[in-house]
Amino acid sequence: MDKILEGLVSSDHSVPVKRAIVKKVVEAAEREVTEDQCQALFTLTTRLILLGEDAFQKQIGFQVLEAYARYHRPEFERFFSKDFVLSLLQQGYGQLDRKDPAIIEYIHCCLRLLISCPSVLEIFGVIQVEVLRMVCERPEPAFCARLSTLLSDFVQCIPRDKSSVLFCQQLVRTISSFHCFASQEQELREYVGQVTKVSALLQSIWKADPATLLPSLQEVFAIISSTDPSFDPSIALASLVQHIPVQMITVLIKSLTTDQNVRDASMTKALCRMIDWLSWPLAQHVDTWVIALLKGLAAVQKFTILIDVTLLKIELVFSRLWYPIVRQGALAVLSHMLLSFQHSPEAFHLVRGSLDLPKPAEEKIKLVLNQSAWTSQSNSFSSGLLRQAGKSETGKTGLVNLGNTCYMNSIIQTLFMATDFRRHVLSLHLNSSNTLMKKLQLLFAFLAHTQRAAYAPRNFLEASRPPWFNVGSQQDCSEYLRFLLDRLHEEEKTLQALDSAKPKAASPTDASCKDPAGPTPAEVNGQTYDRRTLIEKLFGGKLITSIRCMQCNCISEKEEPFTDLSLAFCPSTTFQDSPQTQGPLEEPRVLCQGSVNGGSEVPEPGSASALASNAHFVPVTNEPPLSVPDLVNYFLAPEILDEDNAYFCEKCSSLQRAEKTIKVVSAPEYLILTLLRFSYDAKCHIRRKILDNVTIPPLIRLPVHDPPIPTRCSSSTSSPLQVDSPESSENLAKKLKSSQHDEEEEKARIDGAEEISRAVQSVPYVLSSVVMHSGISSESGHYYSYGCNINGADAVQQTANQFSIKEDLGNGQAEGSLCTCSAPSVSQEQGGTLHNSGQEAKDWLLFNDSRVTFTSFQSVQNITNRFPKDTAYVLMYRKQELPGQSVNGGLMASGMRLSAEPPLQKELLDAVIKDNKLYLQEQELSARTQALQAPSSSCSFRPNGSDDNNPPGSCGPSGGGGGGGGGFNTISRLVF
């Protein structure tokens, strides 16, 4: 029979004839055949299967072998013995190498025929040993794929116990040696299919024996973290990722990132090679693991690795976007890399030339950036000791208290939240690096773009601190604000003068601010330019102080610039000796304040000021609380100059009784209001604080008069910008309303006098910021501030839009109301909506030195009710441009409104990038130090508190809670 079969194979018969003969040979297997004939037949079929010249011969061999093995099982069992299998696996067959896939395919076929025989158990034992030896020899993918198919069908051949772990590790290392050099699609498909079969075998082993999974993964990491330059593992390892349970991410990443034995170079290599896995076409979850490892490294502050990996691999990741089969995973990794690499634009510049993506909304950009920054990564992968304080959820940067510097911090945050001012400062092109404006510009750049949770403004403190301020002592924030604005104004004036003195053609823009023309132009070469400083343009307004002699009705007027209005508290009607008839400008009932900003003015005995000096802390409970418009109206109310304070009239050439009035004739873009809460107690020789609650409306209307018409008796003067006008503040606490008799007398005198008619505009302002003072005296306490948040569009404008700003004359109000400051009426429904929506939209922020938290406008209004020692001190309102209305030339016409944040200039950007890198290095060093000290250290974690839980604390004499950030006098709130 064997001779017939051998002759058949080598004959020239046609294929149909050969198939017919083979069929007869297979049918003959049912008849009795001698053992020698069977052995010869098995040998022949084995040779045909393993050494056949074509597929037809191999097919004949399999058909005949299967037929005779089924009917002559004992003979086949003696032929296919463990020794024969061992020789095949160790020596091959004839000229066929032992690593040829045909060997494994033949053994696989024979095992299926022998499965019910007892001798198969011995063969399984031989195969268990040999397959472990074979994978250690790193066979080719085709051989491994055949072997995987065999082991998947006959799991008894898989090594057991300890050998099973070793087998998995060696199989992983074998996969790492798979390299494909094919260029044809069919060959590539075969290669991917072969790798898939091997990874599927590992998956089945991991499922059957979970103890083999972790050692296998450790072997994977050992391979990809190798720094041997001669070894380059195959990306075929990516095929294993999809078989790792996603639930193990947290445990595995934590183990990797906190292992002190893993060197940075090894981790960098491992992460780079994992990113290479994104090129593997069929791998799933590769992006999930890569991003998890990136976040894990950020959580333990290993920023050096992240920087190196991002710069090395971001271009490769971007190039993967061109291939649809791997695009989704590559895009996820690319997005995370770009969004988290916020300390420098270098990564973005590497791929920007090819980017053409739609621009998302600004709110979404800020939210995603804040969530993706390395310093804000979740620390779930790290131990408690490695938890570092990063930026709060607000995305805003706090300011470190450098020792009782809360007065500066609150003012800086207030100016920073003045959107137009911040944007103009950042857009300035300044040459000198030693100017105060340049230092403010750099500080604003850090507040806007640093990754630090809180920035320490040491350089700006040294440059901006008034000379009379003692280092480390408590100071007045209002005094600091005036000094700062005056310094910036005078500095710019000096630079303008130096620039104009240069022998060159005038620049078409301002030397420093480069803003369009304004209402105070200058002629240069026939062209008009605005020579006002940035402080004048945004904070500068003008007052007219008029004094009318009641004897001759001659009026003397003086024009004065201002950057803030100092609002005194008038004497309460409770302390008046006799009742007064209230006029149309009804005065608020509040307690009297003495001098301004720590002066030494002493109230006269018997005066209302003296009567009120002992009642600073006794609020009037039977009347509604004061409001900001009440104080503004009191500031603008007429004052009678009489007796010791009589006016010397030049026309009368004698002291005469006179009426003094103050009117605003030019409204600033930003209206700064300072509530003069600190009065001097002459008896105790201390400055007391007026703790009266003052209602803060979100919107106010300021009466602004047209410039005066010169008369023969009037005098008009102009002085340089002054941040503290003596005429408008020195006698504020002495203002007393005239009695009813005086009013009647004055009316009689005015009947025959010539009246000057001036148009009045009611200019709307919306609240931008509030600086609070916490404490009971000026010598101690703490400053903190509230600011309206900016989310995409101008949130200050959004706040204004939430109220209906009604025209006074159109709602039945008296025309005379234009001459008073008022707060537009807001319905209860609108007010409730604002409080609720404002809190949900997080339109307000609380700046407390290093801490920045979300709050609501309702918290701003209720702070004094909740914490009586905390009172509003400095308020900043922003002028609003109503549709169809133009005030003082119009905001848009003056060019002071910028619609977007300006890009950082190169030198500012470089400084921020340098500091961000330094910060990352500091965080990394701190994390490593803590990790080394972890066994002997302990820590506690408290979750964030709500803004409404605890009042702000006091700087105290020790300097701001130890100089670390303002401090709370209650339970500390940690911001992560």
H, E, C per residue of 116-153: CCCCHHHHHHHHHHHHHHHHHCCCCHHHHHHHHHHHHH
CA–CA gap between residue 577 and residue 606 (Å, rounded): 10
CA–CA gap between residue 492 and residue 533 (Å, rounded): 6
Between vectors from CA 571 to CA 568 and to CA 575, what angle results, nearest 5°?
A: 165
Phi, then psi, of 281 in degrees rounded to 5? -70, -35
From its phi and psi, is residue 91 left (phi > 0), alpha (psi between -120 and 50) or beta?
Answer: alpha
From its phi and psi, is residue 492 left (phi > 0), alpha (psi between -120 and 50) or beta?
Answer: alpha
Annotated active-site residue 782? The verdict is yes
C-alpha closest to that of 153 among 103, 211, 197:
197
Residue that is written with structure tokens 């025309």 in the block:
815
- Given a contact cutoff of 8 angstroms between Cβ atoms, the answer to whether 630 and 588 are in contact is yes
- Given a contact cutoff of 8 angstroms between Cβ atoms, the answer to whether 733 and 592 are in contact is yes
CA–CA gap between residue 801 and residue 790 (Å, rounded): 14
Phi, then psi, of 886 in degrees rounded to 5? -130, 115
Catalytic residue chosen out of the listed positions 168, 406, 477, 592? 406
Residue type, 139: P
Distances (CA, A) of 600 to 605, 678, 680: 15, 11, 7
Strands 686-689 and 626-627, sheet pairing: unpaired
CA–CA gap between residue 392 and residue 944 (Å, rounded): 10
Residue type, 159: P
Between vectors from CA 690 to CA 687 and to CA 693, what angle results, nearest 5°?
A: 160
C-alpha closest to that of 849 among 782, 926, 773:
782
- Given a contact cutoff of 8 angstroms between Cβ atoms, the answer to whether 875 and 786 are in contact is no
Annotated active-site residue 513? The verdict is no
Between vectors from CA 649 to CA 645 and to CA 653, what angle results, nearest 5°?
A: 115
- Given a contact cutoff of 8 angstroms between Cβ atoms, the answer to whether 68 and 41 are in contact is yes
Residue type, 31: R
Catalytic residue chosen out of the listed positions 424, 449, 616, 782? 782
Distances (CA, A) of 664 to 418, 646, 718, 728: 22, 24, 14, 12
- Given a contact cutoff of 8 angstroms between Cβ atoms, the answer to whether 321 and 327 are in contact is yes
DSSP state of 596: S
Active-site annotation, residues: 406, 782
